[in-house]
Structure 1
């Protein structure tokens, strides 16, 4: 029997997951990536400041954690020293505080399954902990949402992310050296399996019908490639801020804004290798509304920096900022779930994978789950078994 051939468009986390999975099942796989390097949104910047596109972490409660670990791809993780956990600060009522409001702890006891799909989070949570506590919880959950108004989203959707982002011990873990190191290991695994990887190769036309095609790109790129205007879903806009500061004892690990959505994190707290010695790498994400600008997000970021990192302006040795629009995963409005997002199976042997399609999970877990499902569907007719 001839080997089935699979083409994967996109060499990010979803694309490499799909390529490895299909190759392990015996398929002949080609990955085509438009950029000159692999990684997509999981790409880590080259140079002395190893930044990602916003805060990146692997949640140990997700299915991709086990999959990566079984294949030896998880690699060394950057542990968070216990003392750094104590340096988490909460911006509430215009002041920096050491402890979260009691409402966050109370709300964390409710499972996501107890939250309604068809009601917004703010209304549901207000009934449990009051409006002030509900708003604080919604803003805290923004670290896993990248959305300017988390309270307006489906209660079930937000509560799952709130619980996992606030879990103790923390679910979030950090690949040492940034996500780029993880991508390199995944690419190495793909090469070892015989996957053909073509970078700087932009696909603008669909190949002739026949062998399966897995489109593992952003939803915007997939919409243009497939010429399918139905490939849309609600996302968010976020001002991303990267700073390198000279080291100062006592800097906080995290500043979580509970007055408005916003998150500032000192990534060198857990991984000193992402910045030169004597410097701290600070990364933040400040969600902004459709009518707001990058400058609006920067102003709020600077307000948090003023509160948490005294003298940061004089200590800054490197700085950059950008806006990420619809590049940080799907968000579900009241009355919708992941099942309502664009389907993975597009017909005629074409399948979607990524973080805005119909697959469950939090953040990168959606990309992983959709990639696994896309490969399973693609190989069903060939009776190749997908290893999970």
Structure 2
């Protein structure tokens, strides 16, 4: 089958994608313009291609190899220089470390000396202050001693007559050999007086302490007695309450005992009545009693059976009596009927009521 629309396109050239017959005008138009004009290459200039690209790459490679060799040589030289610099640097570092250690030790020594000096200065200042205080105290003591000296001098002047009197006493007395003996005896008397006074004060304090202890003991005993009285009153109240409660329960117990005794009496009477009835029924039947006094169930069962039998007998008797009564009534009716002569023989009607036997259950 032939194509109705054959393909006319030959390809795509740049931005042109048109049919060949339509591209002629575009080609002519492109010849006339200069903006997109492509200058053809000169015949003696090498064309761009793989060979030229390979030559350029080889040249660049050679240049790179030369540059690498130069850089390696420079690196070796620089390595030697750097090793020398490193050795010098390590040497300088060791020297600086030694200098740092020396300087640090020197600084520590200076700080230690400074600390010792400051401590010594502080101690000296404290000592200076203490000495100043001691000097002031000594000056004050000297002033006090001077005042005391003046006072003592005045006192000695005032006591000179007494000294003469003491000397006269010593000279005239056989007991004292010198003034010192007299003064010693006076001092001893004064000390004895002081001791007596102290002993008196101690005795007074002891008496006061004993009085205080007695008052304390009396207070404690009074408090104890008061507490015991309170406990006694509480116990008396408890005793009264307990006594009232016991009387109450005694009354309840007495009532309970009476009730129990009454119930016991009633129970014994009932047991006696049951036993008596049981014996009567056994005697009536001509049977020896086998149940004991406290075999209540057996006795009651026997009595119940006998009462049921008697009830049946009573019912039968009542039925027979009722039949007899009805028969007598019919006989009376027949006897009141008229005779042949028209007269009727009236007889007294006697109402016969058959007795009914009842047994109270």
Q: TM-score, normalised by structure 2?
A: 0.12
Task: Name which one, 1 or 2, has greater alpha-carbon Rg.
Answer: 2
Q: TM-score, normalised by structure 1?
A: 0.12
- Specify which structure has the higher proportion of helix: 2
